[in-house]
Amino acid sequence: MGYRDNYALAVRTGSINAGHTIVDGGKEIKLRIVPCAYVNRKTRLLIAAGALYSIETLRKEIVITGAEGRLGVDLKSGVILPEHIERERKDEFLMKKVGSTGSGVGAAMVDRVLRTMRLARDFEELRQYLTDVEKEVHDCEKSGGRVLLEGTQGLYLSLFHGDPPFVTSRDVSASAVCSEVGVGPKDVEDVIVVFKSYVTRVGGGPLEGELPEEEAAKRGWLEVATVTGRKRRAAPFNYALAERALRINGGTQIALTKLDALFPECGGAYKYESLPDRAKSFIREIEQNLGVPVTIIGTGPGMNDVVDRRG
């Protein structure tokens, strides 16, 4: 979406326990906190007040994305310290049963709730990036600029709407994304809910219809998690889960990724007309069952491997 949508601002919420892999100019980039919209070199990149990150991770991603000079972090965003990581990794329940990434996010969230967390404004090395993200977003909106808010993790890892204890340490719904940025619901034009063409999950917790690892590999669905390097569990597309995710998020559009994993002949397609009939049938089935249009379709790892049906 980076090249085609031309957002003035892109704001990242959430934390570093979820990774996103981008193929930019043939190079694979793994991100945990810098907005994926960095690919549009004109977009100003922001990290929301509700976000958490380690300074080390932020520094690395600024370098690999070339975001220096156009990235800002909210003064009140939270900083994960080595002690948070150490505390979390000592917790056997979190690490072995829940399947925590061990990134220190949960421990840092505890400190945030207790009001003892150190914020971005407390660190000299972050001074050059400090900004008021909420104000930037609303000023941009008033001047007619377009803003993209990037969430993180699937709805079923939500602290509220997932299945405890197999959840993350925050709500990850669209409402929470807005809250972390400082945006009200009336300011949102569209909520694009991202679905993979099949379901994956890392760590513990329920996964209806889970396939044996060998079958997932045979279908080309066996993935390795960006942050932990662990193999992802996989299952076929689940309409009940998708319907609830759309309902809670207030989804107005669906972005469907990995269509080429189900239908290899879709690989690299960028026109809907060029998709095979069985792929089109799958998309129509999703739209008919869920009542929400599939507007963006991922057909490969590259940024241009996208069918954009938004007109």
| pLDDT, position 44 | 98
Residue 141 and residue 179: Cα distance in Å, rounded? 16
**What residue type is assigned to position 42 of the chain?**
K
Examine residue 127 and state whether it is found in any structural domain, yes or no.
Answer: yes
Domain that holds residue 12: 1-189
Residue 307 and residue 294: Cα distance in Å, rounded? 10
End-to-end CA distance of the chain: 14
Partners of 53 in the β-ladder:
79
CATH number for 185:
3.40.440.10
Examine residue 170 and state whether it is found in any structural domain, yes or no.
Answer: yes
Q: Which tokens go with 22? A: 């981008």
Number of domains in the chain: 1
Examine residue 302 and state whether it is found in any structural domain, yes or no.
Answer: no
Please state the separation of Cα 208 from the chain's center in Å: 22
Examine residue 194 and state whether it is found in any structural domain, yes or no.
Answer: no
Contact 180, 47 (CB under 8 A): no
Contacts of 206-215 with C-beta under 8 Å, sequence gap 24+, read 206/163, 206/166, 207/233, 207/235, 208/235, 208/238, 208/241, 209/235, 209/236, 209/238, 210/234, 210/235, 211/235, 211/236
The secondary structure of the chain as a DSSP string is: -HHHH--SEEEE-S-TTS-EEEEETTEEEEESSS-GGGGSTTSEEEE-TT-EE-HHHHHHHHHHHT-TTSEEEETT-EE--HHHHHHHHT-HIIIIII----SSHHHHHHHHHTT---BGGG-GGGGGGEE-HHHHHHHHHHTT--EEEE--S-GGG-TTTS-TTSS-SS--SHHHHHHHHT--GGG----EEEEESEEEE-SSS--TTPPPHHHHHHHT---B-TTT-PBPEEEE--HHHHHHHHHHHT-SEEEEE-HHHH-GGGTT---GGGS-HHHHHHHHHHHHHH-S-EEEEE-SSBTT-EEE---
User: What is the pTM assigned to this prediction?
Assistant: 0.93
Residue 43 and residue 37: Cα distance in Å, rounded? 7
Task: Spell out the per-residue pLDDT of the chain, length 311, in tens.
Answer: 334 688 999 999 999 998 888 998 889 999 999 999 999 999 999 999 999 999 999 999 999 999 999 999 999 999 999 999 999 998 888 887 787 888 999 999 999 999 999 999 999 999 999 999 999 999 999 999 999 999 999 999 999 999 999 999 999 999 999 999 999 999 999 999 999 999 999 888 899 999 999 999 999 999 888 787 889 999 999 999 999 999 999 999 999 999 999 999 999 999 999 999 999 999 999 999 999 999 999 999 998 999 999 97
Examine residue 154 and state whether it is found in any structural domain, yes or no.
Answer: yes
Examine residue 110 and state whether it is found in any structural domain, yes or no.
Answer: yes
Examine residue 150 and state whether it is found in any structural domain, yes or no.
Answer: yes
Examine residue 288 and state whether it is found in any structural domain, yes or no.
Answer: no
Residue 309 and residue 268: Cα distance in Å, rounded? 15
Q: Which tokens go with 267? A: 């690989």
Contact 257, 237 (CB under 8 A): no
